[in-house]
Amino acid sequence: MTLRRIAAALLVGAVLLPLAACDTSTGVGADIGEDLEGGAPQAIDLVADSTTFGGVDIAAPVTGNTNPQRDWRVLVGRVLDPVAGEATADAYLDLAPARPIPDLVQAAPVDVLEAELILAPQYLHGDSTATVTVRLFDLQSNPDFEDARADQTFATALEVASYEVSAAEDSVVTLPLPDGWVRDNEGILRDTTGDASTFDEAFAGFKVQVSRSSAPTPSQPGAVVGFSTEDSRLELSRTDDTTSVATYPISQSFTHVSWQAPPAETEARRANRVLLRGGAPRALRFAFNFEEEARVDSLIGAPLNRVRLDVPFDTLAQRGTEAPEGFVRPRVDGYRLLMRRTDDPSIPDCESRQLGQLLTQTPESGLDPGDEEGRYCFLPTDLSELPERLSTPVLNNVVRESLQPEQPVVFESFRLEVTDRFSPAAEFSPAVPGVPTTAPVLIPIPGSPSDAQTELSIVATPI
């Protein structure tokens, strides 16, 4: 078995470590297996191949959600991040019918009705003192946000109104709708003759778009704000009786995200680092060059004790000292880890028992452009220890299969994507999309001046 044949087999047990302020790695990782009794365990530390370590284009992340029971958010705003560049986000919202509609609202004359779009803040990226100017549009036709990706857009109809939203708001944001809009839509809002599909066909939804009238600057970087779709809603009530309210929950939502290149003046901060940005169609991909590592020959067929992959985050650079006082950069609380199967017909499928019945990435999950289906396997990850580390706990089968004599290598490369969650402890399938985010992360390239390295540590007991 050649060294190349066992290359990707050892890409297991990923750990993501934030760098301390001194720009060094703490060296903790995810272990697989227990120490074996007897023998002399052998430890090998391999550094990722710097020539292939870098960003790769992928499909834009899914930011649409059609499940109203799922915790989700939408983003709107414009921010100039000194580390990551300029991000622009627009939110799309669709409504479900109110059930029930209070009798006093149902019977009210139209001239005493008022409608408000209530948004519940839960996210901030940028200047906490900024005011975000947003424009509210009706959508042109009924959208389908299922599996919609961050680079998509949906056509709008007439502009409803514009508003000023404070980035510091932490309770609710209320957008009162004009009387003319209420008159034009009260028949739809108060129609109880049909079901939810009837309402959906009649009401297309809203787009909340950040104003493009002025670009953010280093001294006034602007902000992207986020709102919980579970706690946001439209309310229809009477101006002469505020106790009677018809509530229209959010039925589906979508966030469009676009990025411009990072500022040239911060190039030094990003030098020798890979930049990943939430909402961008970009991932980190790397592999290990085992052809120059003769030490690996001694591990073929040996009982495996532990395998650990450390991928450090450069949190010192991410803090971005150029940002003005009051600038807030959200932390990523979720990542997706995938392994690419070697192009060999004898390699087991992801779902096979040999590989531990892993999930296969489908085209809907975002394949690399030009890659055929079935080459990538999702690796289940434990998010409970973020930001200290991201671990993958079920790779014993992968390692065992890959280190058998005369067997081809199982995996040739490894890919990391930003897929944010509301908290590191949130349980999720690796195939489920992350919530919309614009948070950036920086990962040092192996061999760069940073002391931290993306390393693979192998401990085995040679026979």
Range of the domain at 308: 4-59+281-460
Residues 306 and 407 occupy one common structural domain: yes
Domain termination residue (choose one: 226, 259, 292): 259
Residues 254 and 347 occupy one common structural domain: no
b/e code 420-445 from CB counts within 10 Å (16+ = b): bbbebeeeeebeebbbbbbbbbbbbb
Element (H, E) at 398: helix 396-402
Residues 299 and 382 occupy one common structural domain: yes
Question: Is residue 194 a part of any domain in this protein?
Answer: yes
Question: Is residue 268 a part of any domain in this protein?
Answer: no
CA of residue 63 relative to chain centroid, distance? 8
Quick one: pLDDT at residue 291? 59
Quick one: pLDDT at residue 422? 83
Q: What is the chain's length?
A: 463
Residues 176 and 315 occupy one common structural domain: no
Domain termination residue (choose one: 259, 292, 323): 259
Q: Strands 411-418 and 273-277, how do they pair?
A: unpaired
Residues 245 and 130 occupy one common structural domain: yes
Question: Is residue 41 a part of any domain in this protein?
Answer: yes
Residues 291 and 405 occupy one common structural domain: yes
Residues 443 and 297 occupy one common structural domain: yes
CA angle, 226 then 229 then 235, to 5°? 110
Please enumerate in sequence order all residues whose Cβ is within 8 A of that of 210, keeping only pairs 6 or more positions apart, or say none.
76, 77, 78, 88, 89, 90, 132, 133, 134, 135
Question: Is residue 271 a part of any domain in this protein?
Answer: no
Question: Is residue 90 a part of any domain in this protein?
Answer: yes
Quick one: pLDDT at residue 37? 47
Residues 70 and 28 occupy one common structural domain: no
Question: Is residue 222 a part of any domain in this protein?
Answer: yes
Residues 170 and 251 occupy one common structural domain: yes
Question: Is residue 228 a part of any domain in this protein?
Answer: yes
- Residue-wise pLDDT for 262-279, tens only, equals 766 666 567 788 999 999
Give the span between the Cα atoms of 14 and 307, in whole angstroms: 9
Q: If DSSP codes are grouped into helix, strand and coil, which group holds residue 201?
A: helix
Residues 164 and 33 occupy one common structural domain: no
Domain termination residue (choose one: 259, 290, 318): 259
- Residue-wise pLDDT for 294-335, tens only, equals 677 777 888 888 877 788 888 777 775 567 889 999 988 888
* Chunked mean pLDDT (size 10), the chain, 463 residues: 37 44 37 50 86 91 92 96 94 95 95 97 96 97 94 97 94 96 96 84 96 92 97 96 91 97 67 91 88 71 80 76 83 89 89 89 66 81 70 70 77 89 75 91 85 80 76
Quick one: pLDDT at residue 87? 97
Residues 77 and 49 occupy one common structural domain: no
Omega into 387 within 30° of 0, i.e. cis?
A: yes
Residues 43 and 87 occupy one common structural domain: no
Contact 87, 79 (CB under 8 A): yes
Element (H, E) at 401: helix 396-402
For the entire predicted model, the pTM comes to 0.88
Give the span between the Cα atoms of 258 and 53, in whole angstroms: 24
Quick one: pLDDT at residue 379? 83
Q: If DSSP codes are grouped into helix, strand and coil, which group holds residue 213?
A: coil
Q: How many domains does the chain contain in total?
A: 2
For 130, 142, 258, 404, 436, the CA distances from 149, given in Å and listed in that order, are: 28, 17, 11, 41, 10
